[in-house]
Every structure is written in structure tokens, then in C-alpha cells.
């Protein structure tokens, strides 16, 4: 039998064996048997050297063609077997009842935050943010709160053990400075964000909570704008019956400074007439100087309030800790 005559029967045998292999490991055995280094097909190739010179091109071509066909079949078989191995053992029963996938919801604090943001967006405020790990400069110094100021009481602040960014921000007011430092007036922003204080958790305190800061800077900005804006937003959030009261207060970064009290049927339901809800005031000239704004040219106001407070009033929640416990019986009610 001539060399060329051996190729086809060997190929046919190999193809049959490949087809017959019904597991991946058997398929691999067949591969080794025919195409491995010591395989029968490889053996055939090695015999080429013994052929007469003029026979070699035809033999080489025949062997290569056969080998290509075998490799192709091998690959296809392997794919088939892999697919079969991955397929489910039982057929899908399309009449079986569906499996319910529970849908998540937004946390009540997120819902309230988004409502507040939506109200402010209506009147042209953009959302800004800043880091929770802050330096003393942004959290205190540039806000006209020097090192010996009582508002910097170390009791209230978490300090970190690193050199350059040493604290967790105690309020979102730090972002006022960051925004003004980076952009020239006019400014119209709100800043929702998480803040940290060294408070022991109880029904109305938690070491982390959330605030919304607001800052408006332009020429000839007045306190009347501030009152109108705050009133608009609180009425949107908590109903038309809302009443606001502004009381003189002190903050180092505003002058004059005010505290906003709030009254509504919801507050009366909680057994109170007025509830303290926000701090605000006209931006202190020193703060403008600290960020390079000319206080003779620009004026502005700022405010800050706690988001949990608003959510508690809105939903009649009496313990702030409920927001952080991730108890589904609580969360599912919103
Ligand atoms: N930063 C104050 C706080 O955490 C709230 C506040 C008061 C923010 C007056 C202001 C402001 O922007 O003008 O209690």
C-alpha cells in the first residue's frame, strides 16, 4: 500500500472516533491517539522523509488537508460536548409558576433628599458636593471659626490620625468654601451630604447624619430672598400649612445669623408648636475675603439643615436610629 493510500482510511477512522467520543475526556484521548506527538497521524507525517522527492508535495498537501479536517471536527465536537455539559439536566418547564424577585426601594432619607433637591432645582439651584474627610481650613478656618472658637470644641469633631486631612466634616458648610474658591460669583448651589459628630446615639442624635447646605451669592442679594426661598421649599416639602419663624442666632460665617423655626399640623401632632429646623444668615464679609470675593461687590446668604429632622417630621418618626438599622419592617413602609 502506498503512503498516499494510508491517509484516507486513517482520517476516516479518526473522524469516526471523534464522533463517537461522548465526553470531553474521551475526546481528548482520541486527539492524543491521532494528533498527539506520538499519535498515528503524526507518525504518518514523520514517514514523509522516506518518500521520493517528487512524491513529497502531493503527500504533504494530502496530509495537511486531512489534518485540517480532523482539527475542525475536533473543535466542533469539543464545543458540542461543552455545551451539553453546561445545559440543565432537566428541560425547562415553561408552565411552572414564576419566581418573584423582590424589588428594592430607595431609603426614606434618599427619598426626602431627592424631593428637596427637586424643589431647589425648580428655582435654579445646582447640586455641588465635597469630601467627607476635610481639613480644618475648609471645615472651620475659612468659615471664620478660629481655633479657639467654642464651635470647634474637640468634643464634637472626629479627628483623623493623618497629617494633611485631619477630620471628618461636622457640617456641609465646608463645601461653601470649596465651591467659592473654585468659581467666581454668582453662585446658586445646594449641597446634600453626610456629616459626622462625636455624639452618643439617642432618639434625636447619631454620630453620622445628613445635611443640606445652600449658598446664594450675587449682587444685591437680600434677606427677603432667603426667606422667600426657604419658605417655598418647606411648603413644597411639608405642605401649604407650614409656618416659618426666624429668630436671631449666632454662626461665625453669617452676619446677621438666624435660626429657622417651623410649625405645621405635623409638628403639632408631635406635641410641639415650633420646631427648630435650620440655621441661616447673610454670608459674613470675612468669609468672602477668605475666598477672594470682594464683599463690597458681592452679597449672599447661606443656610443648613438636617435631612433626618425633615424626614422625621414628614413621616412622624420619633427615633432617628431607625434610619440606620436597615430593619425591613421599617424600610418597607416608605
Ligand atoms: N453649619 C450649621 C450647622 O451645622 C448650619 C448652618 C447655619 C449652615 C447657618 C449655614 C448657615 O450655611 O448660614 O448647624
pLDDT, one tens digit per residue, over 167-191 is 999 999 999 999 999 999 999 999 9
Rounded to 10°, the helix 56-86/24-35 angle is 170
CATH class of the region 3-86: mainly alpha
The span from the CA of 98 to the CA of 101, in Å, is: 9
| Cross-sheet strand order for the sheet of 187-196 | 126-127, 187-196, 208-218, 299-306, 275-283, 254-263, 243-251
pLDDT in tens, 192-234: 999 999 999 999 999 999 999 999 999 999 999 999 999 999 9
Cell numbers standing for residue 115: 424631593
Asked whether residue 165 carries a pLDDT value surpassing 70, the answer given is: no
Which of 49-53, 59-63, 182-186 is the most confident on average?
A: 182-186
302 CB less than 6 Å from ligand 1? yes
213 CB less than 6 Å from ligand 1? yes
Report the mean per-residue pLDDT for the chain. Answer: 91
pLDDT tier, 1 (very low <50, low <70, confident <90, very high otherwise) = low
pLDDT in tens, 264-321: 888 888 788 998 999 999 999 999 999 999 999 999 999 999 999 999 989 989 899 9
251 CB less than 6 Å from ligand 1? yes
pLDDT at 269: 81
pLDDT in tens, 76-102: 999 999 988 888 778 888 888 888 888
DSSP string, 140-169: TGGGT--TT-GGG-TTT-PBPSSSSS-EE-
281 CB less than 6 Å from ligand 1? yes
140 CB less than 6 Å from ligand 1? no
Pairing relation of β-strands 187-196 and 208-218?
A: antiparallel
192 CB less than 6 Å from ligand 1? no
109-331: CATH topology is: BirA Bifunctional Protein; domain 2 (3.30.930)
pTM: 0.71
pLDDT at 164: 73
Our mutation pick for probing the ligand 1 site, out of 138, 144, 170, 173, counting the most ligand atoms within 8 A of Cβ, is 173
Atom number, ligand 1, closest to the C-alpha of residue 283: 13
Atom number, ligand 1, closest to the C-alpha of residue 215: 12
**Atom 7 of ligand 1, nearest CA residue:** 279
173 CB less than 6 Å from ligand 1? yes
What's the gap in Å between 214 CA and the centre of ligand 1?
Answer: 9
The span from the CA of 172 to the CA of 170, in Å, is: 7
Residues 115-119 have a mean pLDDT of 96
Domain ranges of the chain: 3-86, 109-331
Buried b (16+ CB within 10 A) or exposed e, 262-280: bbbebbeeeeeebbbbbbb
Cβ neighbours of residue 94 under 8 Å, at least 6 residues apart?
none
pLDDT at 307: 96
Buried b (16+ CB within 10 A) or exposed e, 53-74: eeeeeebeebbeebbeebeeeb
pLDDT at 49: 79
Per DSSP, 232 falls in state H
pLDDT at 62: 87
pLDDT in tens, 37-47: 888 888 887 88
DSSP helix/strand/coil, 46? helix
What's the gap in Å between 269 CA and the centre of ligand 1?
Answer: 27
Amino acid at each position: 500500500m502506498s503512503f498516499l493510500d494510508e491517509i484516507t482510511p486513517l482520517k476516516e477512522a479518526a473522524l469516526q472516533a471523534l464522533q463517537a467520543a461522548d465526553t470531553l475526556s474521551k475526546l481528548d484521548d482520541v486527539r492524543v491517539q491521532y494528533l498527539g506527538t506520538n499519535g498515528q497521524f503524526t507518525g504518518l507525517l514523520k514517514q514523509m522523509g522516506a518518500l521520493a522527492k517528487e512524491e513529497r508535495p502531493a503527500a504533504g498537501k494530502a496530509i495537511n488537508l486531512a489534518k485540517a479536517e480532523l482539527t475542525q471536527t475536533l473543535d466542533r465536537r469539543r464545543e458540542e460536548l461543552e455545551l451539553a455539559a453546561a445545559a440543565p439536566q432537566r428541560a425547562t418547564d415553561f408552565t411552572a409558576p414564576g419566581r418573584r424577585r423582590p424589588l428594592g426601594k430607595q431609603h426614606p432619607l434618599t427619598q426626602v433628599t431627592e424631593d428637596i433637591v427637586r424643589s431647589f432645582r425648580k428655582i435654579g439651584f445646582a447640586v455641588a458636593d465635597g469630601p467627607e474627610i476635610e481639613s480644618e481650613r475648609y471645615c472651620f478656618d475659612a468659615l471664620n471659626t478660629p481655633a479657639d472658637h467654642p464651635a470647634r470644641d474637640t468634643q464634637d469633631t472626629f479627628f483623623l490620625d493623618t497629617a494633611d486631612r485631619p477630620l471628618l466634616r461636622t457640617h456641609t458648610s465646608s463645601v461653601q468654601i470649596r465651591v467659592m474658591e473654585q468659581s467666581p460669583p454668582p453662585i446658586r448651589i445646594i449641597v446634600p451630604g453626610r456629616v459626622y459628630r462625636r455624639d452618643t446615639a439617642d432618639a434625636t442624635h447619631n454620630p453620622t447624619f445628613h445635611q443640606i447646605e445652600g449658598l446664594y451669592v450675587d449682587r444685591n442679594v437680600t434677606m427677603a430672598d432667603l426667606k422667600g426661598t426657604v419658605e417655598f421649599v418647606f411648603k413644597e416639602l411639608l405642605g401649604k400649612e407650614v409656618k416659618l419663624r426666624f429668630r436671631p442666632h449666632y454662626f461665625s460665617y453669617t452676619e446677621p445669623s438666624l435660626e429657622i423655626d417651623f410649625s405645621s399640623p405635623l409638628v403639632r401632632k408631635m406635641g410641639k408648636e415650633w420646631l427648630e429646623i435650620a440655621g441661616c444668615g447673610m454670608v459674613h464679609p470675612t468669609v468672602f475675603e477668605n475666598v477672594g470675593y470682594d464683599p463690597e461687590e458681592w452679597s449672599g446668604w447661606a443656610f443648613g439643615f438636617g435631612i433626618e429632622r425633615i424626614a422625621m417630621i414628614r413621616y412622624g418618626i420619633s427615633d432617628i436610629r431607625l434610619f440606620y438599622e436597615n430593619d425591613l419592617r421599617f424600610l418597607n413602609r416608605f
